[in-house]
Amino acid sequence: MASSEDRLPRVAHAERPRPDEKILWKTGADLNNGWLGRHGTLYLTDQRLVFVPTPLDHLLGAKRREIAREDLVAIERFPLSSGVMPRGAKRPRMYLFANGVRYQFIVPDLDPWIDILEVVYTRAHEADSSVRIPEIRRKGIENALLDLA
């Protein structure tokens, strides 16, 4: 049973990545909302995360979604450890917590996504201490990208 945290807010379509935004990372992704999954592309820009559904999913009612960089409070790997398979035929996924909502993304490169998000927030915090680094929830994985100077 889905909790209220899993229900996506009823909002207007987010803008696609804008020309003034620098795209830092993008891959194909599925955005799950309870039993319903939407296919598309997940973008990390210098300002926000943006999910753009495929044209077919858009025709079926999927919306473009965004998470402002300052709204992201936690990033969680499910399952927490990479060597564990989830029960119930669930695929490993990334939970993003923002504004009281848990966004469920299934991406082909799960740990690299979490790595790049951690690096982007850490570097932003180093440049401006008012930038909050979201809590990273996963076990048994060290982000080697943070050791690079």
The C-alpha atoms of residue 59 and residue 106 are separated, in whole angstroms, by 21
Pick out the chain residues at pLDDT < 70. Answer: 1-4, 34-35, 148-149
Q: Is 38 helix (H, G, I), strand (E, B) or coil?
A: strand
The C-alpha atoms of residue 25 and residue 9 are separated, in whole angstroms, by 25
Model pLDDT for residues 69-83, shown as the tens digit of each residue: 999 999 999 999 988
Give the per-residue pLDDT at 148. Answer: 60
One of 3.40.50.880, 3.80.10.10, 2.30.29.30, 3.40.50.1000 is the CATH number of 13-147, namely 2.30.29.30
The C-alpha atoms of residue 101 and residue 67 are separated, in whole angstroms, by 10
Is there a contact between 37 and 26 (Cβ–Cβ < 8 Å)? no
Model pLDDT for residues 100-124, shown as the tens digit of each residue: 999 999 999 999 999 999 999 999 9
The C-alpha atoms of residue 30 and residue 105 are separated, in whole angstroms, by 6
Instruction: List the domain boundaries for the chain.
Output: 13-147
- What is the pTM (predicted TM-score) of this model? 0.90
The C-alpha atoms of residue 147 and residue 50 are separated, in whole angstroms, by 28
